[in-house]
Amino acid sequence: MDYTNWTLILAFIFILMLLVLKISTPLIMRSEIFFGVRLPRKLINHEKLKEFKKLYIRNSIFVCGIYVVFLCYMLLTHPSNIVLLIGIIAFFILSTIIYYFSHKKVKEFKKFNQDKTYKKQIVVIDTNFRNNKKQRLLPHRQWFLIPISIVLLNIIIGYLVFDRLPIFVPVHWNASGKIDITTIKSYGVIFEVPLQQIFITIYMFLIYQIIERSKQQISSFRPEYSREINRVFRYRWAANIIFLNVLILIESTITNLFLLEVVNINFKFLVLLKPITVILILLDILIISLWTGQGGSRIKIDDNNIDTNSCDNLDDDKYWKLGLIYFNPKDPALFVEKRFGIAFGLNYGKIRTYVLIIAVIGSIILLNVLEYILLLMYNI
C-alpha cells in the first residue's frame, strides 16, 4: 500500500473519530446542565429531556453522517490537505448548527416550566478546594520535568552529532521521500525542533494552570459529592495533559533524530507518524471524556450523604451566549468549564481574557519568527 492510500486511511479514521466525539457528547453532559442550559432540580429527570437527547443523536448521525460520507468521497477524488482542512471546518460549523437547535429547544422547555419549578437559588463555594493537602487537586508540577528532560535530550544529542553532520543537511522531503530542500550545516539545525518542543511544553503547562485555576462548579444538590468528582475530573485531565505533552515530544524527537541522522527510519513511517499521533491524541480525548464525563459526570465514587437541600443552583444562563460563550464582567474568574463538551473556556467579559489571547497569538508569531531566524542561520 502506497503513501497516498495510507494518508487517506488515516484521514478517514480522523474524520470518523470526530463524528464519534460529536455523537457521544450528550452521553457525558452534567445532569443539571443540558445542552448549555442550567436546569432546575425538578426538571433534571424529565422525560422530555431524553427526547431532546435522542433527537440530537439522530440528527447528528443523519446529517453529520451524510456529510462525512461526502467528505470522504471528496478526499478520494480530490486528495489534498486543503480539502481536509475546509472539510473539518465545515464539519464543526454543521455540528454547531445542530447543537444550536437542541440548545434552543431546551431553553424554550425550561422557560415554559420555569414558574412551576422556581426555588431559592444558591452558589456553593469551597474555600479549601485548591488547598487540600490530603487530596491533591492536580498531579505535582514536577511531572513536567519529563518533557523538559526530552527537550534537553534533543539539544544534547544535537551537539554530540553536530560534527558528523554533512555540510549540506536535508531539512525537507517530498511525498515520494526524495530530498527537495537542503541547507548548510549550522547550530540552527539542532535548535529548531527543541524550540518547537519548548513552546509546546509552555502551552501544555498553561492548560495545566487553566485546569487548576478555572472556576468551581460545585452543585448545591450534593455538594460534598460534587466537590469530589470535580476534583477527580481536574486531576485526570491535568494528568492527561502531561501525558499528551510527552507523547507529542516523543513524536517530534523521532523526527529530529531522523533529521540529525542518528536513527535510520523508513521515510513512509516518518511521514505517517504525525497523523498517527494526531489520531492517538483524539482517541485519548475520546476515552478520557467517556471515562470522566463533563465536570466528572461519569465518575463513580462512594457517597452515603443524602441530598436534603431544597435549593437550586444559581441560574446563570444569561451570562452564557448560546450556552457556549461565557461573558460576565462581574465574575472575577478568568477560566470556566465549558457547558457543552469537555474543555475549559474563558470569561470574555474580562479584559485579561483578550490580553491572554493576544499573548498566545503573539507567542505563535514569535515561534515562527524564531524559526525563520534559524532558517537564516542555516545559510550563513
**pLDDT per position as a tens digit, 258-299:** 888 888 877 777 778 888 888 899 889 888 888 888 777 778
Confidence at residue 380, expressed as pLDDT on a 0 to 100 scale: 46
One domain, residues 185 and 217: yes
Domain annotation covers residue 359: no
Give 3 or 227, the one with higher predicted confidence: 227
User: Of 280, 300, 316, which marks where a domain is finished?
Assistant: 316
One domain, residues 30 and 91: yes
User: Of 289, 316, 343, which marks where a domain is finished?
Assistant: 316
Q: Which three cell numbers stand for residue 48?
A: 422530555
The pTM assigned to this predicted structure is 0.83
pLDDT tens, 157-214? Answer: 988 988 887 777 776 666 555 666 677 777 777 888 898 899 999 999 999 998 888 8
Q: What is the mean pLDDT of the chain?
A: 82
Confidence at residue 116, expressed as pLDDT on a 0 to 100 scale: 54
One domain, residues 94 and 4: yes
One domain, residues 272 and 250: yes
Separation between Cα atoms, residue 152 and residue 109, nearest integer Å: 56
Single-letter residue type at 327: F
- To the nearest whole percent, how much of the chain has pLDDT over 90? 20
Strand, helix or coil for residue 271: helix
One domain, residues 193 and 113: no
User: Of 273, 288, 316, which marks where a domain is finished?
Assistant: 316
Reply yes or no on whether the pLDDT at 333 is more than 70: yes
Cα end-to-end distance, the chain, whole Å: 41
Reply yes or no on whether the pLDDT at 145 is more than 90: yes
- C-alpha dihedral, 275 to 281 to 284 to 290, nearest 10°: -100
One domain, residues 128 and 108: no
How many Cβ atoms from other residues are within 10 Å of residue 318's Cβ? 8
Separation between Cα atoms, residue 192 and residue 135, nearest integer Å: 40
DSSP letters spanning 67-123: HHHHHHHHHHHS--HHHHHHHHHHHHHHHHHHHHHHHHHHHHHHHHHHHHH---EE-
Separation between Cα atoms, residue 300 and residue 229, nearest integer Å: 8
One domain, residues 266 and 150: yes
Q: Which three cell numbers stand for residue 374?
A: 534559524
pLDDT tens, 96-111? Answer: 999 999 999 988 888 8
- Residues 158 and 253: beta-carbon distance below 8 Å: no
One domain, residues 242 and 104: no
Domain annotation covers residue 224: yes
Separation between Cα atoms, residue 26 and residue 35, nearest integer Å: 8
Domain annotation covers residue 134: yes
Domain annotation covers residue 193: yes
Separation between Cα atoms, residue 104 and residue 322, nearest integer Å: 8
How many Cβ atoms from other residues are within 10 Å of residue 377's Cβ? 16
Confidence at residue 312, expressed as pLDDT on a 0 to 100 scale: 67
Nearest Cα neighbor of 91 from 57, 65, 73, 56 is 65
Domain annotation covers residue 357: no
Domain annotation covers residue 218: yes
Structurally, how many domains does the chain consist of? 2
Which residues neighbour 267 within 8 Å (Cβ) at sequence distance 6 or greater? 173, 177
Domain span including residue 295: 120-316
One domain, residues 109 and 139: no
One domain, residues 11 and 39: yes
Confidence at residue 351, expressed as pLDDT on a 0 to 100 scale: 92
Separation between Cα atoms, residue 243 and residue 235, nearest integer Å: 12
- To the nearest whole percent, how much of the chain has pLDDT over 70? 83
One domain, residues 284 and 171: yes
Domain annotation covers residue 373: no
Domain annotation covers residue 253: yes
Separation between Cα atoms, residue 336 and residue 217, nearest integer Å: 9
Confidence at residue 44, expressed as pLDDT on a 0 to 100 scale: 80
pLDDT tens, 45-62? Answer: 888 888 999 999 999 999
One domain, residues 140 and 90: no
308-335 mean pLDDT = 80
302-323 mean pLDDT = 70
